[in-house]
A and B are shown apart, each in its own frame.
Chain A
Amino acid sequence: MRTFPIGGIHPSDNKKWSKDKAIEVMALPDEVAIPMIQHIGAPATPIVAKGDKVLTGQIIAQATGFVSANIHSPISGVVKAIDEFANGEGLYRQMIVIKREGDEWVESIDRSTELKRECKLSPADIISKIKDAGIVGMGGATFPTHVKLTVPDGQKAEILIINGVECEPYLTSDYRTMLERGEELLTGVEILMRALNVERAVIGVENNKPDAVAHLNDLIAKGNYRGIEVMALKTRYPQGGEKQLIAAVTGRQVPPPPALPISVGAVVCNASTSVAVYEAVQKNKPLIERVVTITGKQLKDTHNFLLRFGTPIKSVLDAAGGLPEGDVKVLNGGPMMGRSVVNLDAPVMKGCSGITVLSGCEASRGKELACIKCAKCVSACPMGLEPYLISKLSLRQLWDRAEEHKIMECIECGCCSYTCPSNLPLLDYIRIGKQTVMGNIRARAMKK
């Protein structure tokens, strides 16, 4: 069974808490706050004003430039405010606050559940519809999908890879999507293949989800989906990393930056993104909702909710029975790469595949001890770096040497910190180093 070539770890997957919970539609929020930055790239520009009436699915902010994404109203109602509010991490960002009045949708959106498979649109039209719908990578990286699908001149896509790996412990939203929305997913894959003009698509799924593999294979055979195959991969974190997945599926390694996945002929899209693409192209539905896992060992209830963006994290937690007593860590995402939430009033956004609640003891950090040079971090690093070294160089502020040792190639998967027997926060220091080195690289480019 295939997997990626270097490093990796085997954290216990903890999917059992929520994997058998079918997707439920969550009650509509009374008020939503929609951040203008929910993607990688420039923040979107609001095109509504305070007091405007908006419909569900109506565009409320426009992409600023090519690498940016449109934003649509997830509910119908009245714009209450456009101002800066704290996001989950406590950082103030521009948001549009909408007070809900009913749930009245834009007319052009087809809300029927009937599968619409036939797509005769040209690649350019498909990409344009995806761009209009504000679709971004829903695995967490939130890179605008239309940018990914626009292959640069002189390069050619050979294979489309659908990321159904979901290697983050706890999270099950992609898993439930594959099980419950398989046909929409596969139709989305067909549309993406058409947009990229490729003959082959591979859906990568880790072998801890055998029923998802079997189910998709079944649908492919029954529905005669040509050129699409499901590949079961050996479970290992971080298989869902873009470069790791490409290497696992094709055996080809994307060279270090600035090379992009397209340099080895691959384009990767997340499984949930594929469903969103289907809805955008075939049903005219913009990206206004997604499946979000709410999970944790201590929660009374776990769910896989289909919820509208802008729903406060707090109401999602309440729907799961509220937070347990004592020390808790609420994560936007999973325990390996998720971000700590400090403001529970903050909204759920496009990149949020799950909200994980960890207890104080599960998420506590051990006492930092001296590095014993055990090289466990070196063996675990999926990028073939030396985490102990670049972390120490960052700590000592030797930025140039950190750059020489390729600190910028770090994908921040956290394998090094996870595996360190001395409890060293290796990734914390590496992150600081990356920020500074990035600044240095930009400053050098400006001088030239």
Chain B
Amino acid sequence: MAFRLFAAPSPHIHGGESTRRIMGDVVLALLPALAVSTYVLGWRVLLTTAVAVLACVLFEYLIQRFLFKRGTTIGDLSAVVTGVLLAFNLPVGIPWWIVVIGALVAIGIGKMTFGGLGCNPFNPALTGRIFLLIAYPVQMTDWTTNVPDALSGSTLLAEVKAGVSGVADINLVEMLYGQMNGSLGEIGSLALILGGLYLLVRRVITWHIPVAVLGTMALFALCVALGDGGAMLYKLPLFHILAGGALLGAIFMATDYSTSPMTHKGMIIYGVGIGLLTMIIRLWGAYPEGMSFAIFIMNAATPLINKYCRPKRFGVK
């Protein structure tokens, strides 16, 4: 007989979705922001990103190969995503060896200690960033190196917080195009939104988390503006959405699968929590930016949210 019969239980076909395709889409969605960043901040952006990506992939490979002694999964591209996101969370002038340490913490502690992809309770890139922020506070908040003359040596959020400049004087359109200082990946607001739309179209993410995060922040800012006499009803909410890591966090970091809730209802609760915490830290905390801490804290709440936000079962009112 010329045929070989084989058997398996149903379903016998697969939709063709793969982890690699999903991660590839995320990388693709991050490229416009990388391009804007390179254009505004210079070639060093590419170098830092390359170092972060290479270090993340290498550490994942080494840990799986020599510590776990198992097959490696670097082909799923998740380490590449972690690398790009880590770089996006760093100032452009950061020394390369700090990037490598960040990658080691992100992959080694953030991901591999828990068993690898899908098992980590905290976003690996954020784990790396927060570690660096605490370990190297000077380098991590040094916005002056390699910054073009057009930009000031400080982030807008820091300036506003220190009272150096007022939100009223800030040009929102320039913020949209990336004419502001900040971490590598957070300055190209329009490019980040574009990437987010791509992920929505490709069904990699759903709207729930980004909309909940940004909506909560906007609403919070609106209330603050109202309390201040209502002078900046439009400007303050928009400023908070465009400034700092709000867009990068809401679209790319908070939506990380394994650290965010499984149901739409849970995603909304999680997103609202991130929005609230971010605004509280921004307005009353010690740091000018609160996105990463907010996501980190809500990552910790995710198992609890999952426990109480079950999907609506068929036939149950």
Chain A residues at the B interface, C-beta cutoff of 8 Å: 5-6, 9, 11, 169, 243, 247, 253-256, 259, 323-331, 333, 335-342, 344, 358, 360, 362-363, 365-366, 369-376, 378, 381-386, 388, 406, 409, 412, 414-415, 417-423, 425, 427-428, 431
Contact = CB atoms under 8 A, between A and B. Distances in A.
B10 A378 contact: no
30 contacts: A5-B314, A6-B311, A6-B312, A6-B314, A247-B314, A326-B2, A329-B5, A329-B7, A331-B12, A335-B13, A336-B12, A340-B7, A340-B10, A340-B12, A344-B5, A360-B6, A363-B13, A366-B14, A371-B118, A372-B78, A374-B257, A383-B313, A388-B262, A417-B14, A419-B15, A420-B14, A421-B19, A422-B19, A425-B9, A427-B9
A363 B12 contact: yes
B12 A335 contact: yes
For the complex, would chain A's binding face be called helix, strand, loop or mixed by DSSP majority?
loop
Contacts of B4: 326-328, 360
A369 to B, nearest CB: 6
Contact of A409 (B2, B14, B17, B313): B313
Contacts of B310: 386
B258 A256 contact: no
B257 A372 contact: yes
B97 interface: no
Given A375-B263, A421-B18, A342 B314 contact: no
A340 B313 contact: no
B73 interface: yes
A372 B258 contact: yes
A370 B116 contact: yes
Interface in B82-116: 115-116
Contacts of B11: 335-337, 414-415, 417-418, 427
A243 B3 contact: no
A225 B133 CA distance: 76
B44 to A, nearest CB: 32
A370 B118 contact: yes
A423 B14 contact: yes
Contacts of B7: 329, 340-342
B73 A378 contact: no
B257 A375 contact: yes
Contacts of B115: 370
Contacts of B3: 323-328
A70 to B, nearest CB: 29
A372 B117 contact: yes
Contacts of B229: none
Given A371-B118, A376-B17, A378-B262, A386 B311 contact: yes
B19 A369 contact: yes
B65 to A, nearest CB: 17
B76 interface: yes
Given A9-B15, A406-B313, 15 more contacts: A6-B312, A326-B2, A328-B6, A336-B10, A337-B11, A340-B10, A342-B7, A362-B13, A363-B13, A365-B8, A370-B117, A372-B19, A375-B257, A421-B22, A428-B9
B316 interface: yes
A414 B10 CA distance: 7
Contacts of A330: 5
A369 B76 contact: yes
Which 6 A-B residue pairings sit nearest by Cβ, starting from the closest? A414-B11, A340-B7, A384-B313, A375-B262, A421-B17, A253-B315
B316 A255 contact: yes
B67 to A, nearest CB: 17
B21 interface: yes
A436 B21 CA distance: 36
Contacts of B8: 329, 340, 363, 365
B219 interface: no
B119 interface: yes
Contact of A327 (B6, B22, B117): B6
Given A256-B315, A372-B19, A422-B19, A431 B9 contact: yes
Interface string B18-31: 11011000000000
Interface in B139-172: none
A425 B14 CA distance: 10
B311 A384 contact: yes
Contact of A256 (B15, B17, B18, B313): B313
A389 to B, nearest CB: 9
A418 B13 contact: yes
Nearest to A357: B3
Contacts of A254: 315
A385 B78 CA distance: 27
Contacts of A386: 262, 310-311
Contacts of A406: 313
Contacts of B262: 373, 375, 378, 386, 388
Contacts of B18: 366, 421-423
Contacts of A385: 311, 313
Nearest to B78: A372
Given A372-B118, A378-B263, A418 B314 contact: no
Contacts of A338: 10, 12
A324 B1 CA distance: 10
Contacts of A414: 10-11
Interface in B226-272: 257-258, 262-263
Interface in B193-250: none
B74 to A, nearest CB: 12
Nearest to B115: A370
B28 to A, nearest CB: 16
A366 B8 CA distance: 13
A364 to B, nearest CB: 8
Contacts of A327: 3-4, 6
Contacts of B21: 421
A328 B313 contact: no
B2 A325 contact: yes
Contacts of A383: 313-314
A375 B206 CA distance: 11
A412 B10 CA distance: 9
Contacts of A336: 10-13
A408 to B, nearest CB: 12
Contacts of A328: 3-6
Q: Which residue among B11, B21, B73 has the maximum number of chain A CB atoms within 10 Å of its CB?
A: B11
Contacts of A388: 262
Contact of A384 (B6, B73, B116, B312): B312
A355 B15 CA distance: 21
A369 B13 contact: no
B304 to A, nearest CB: 15
Interface in B287-317: 310-316
Given A378-B263, A428-B9, A370 B119 contact: yes
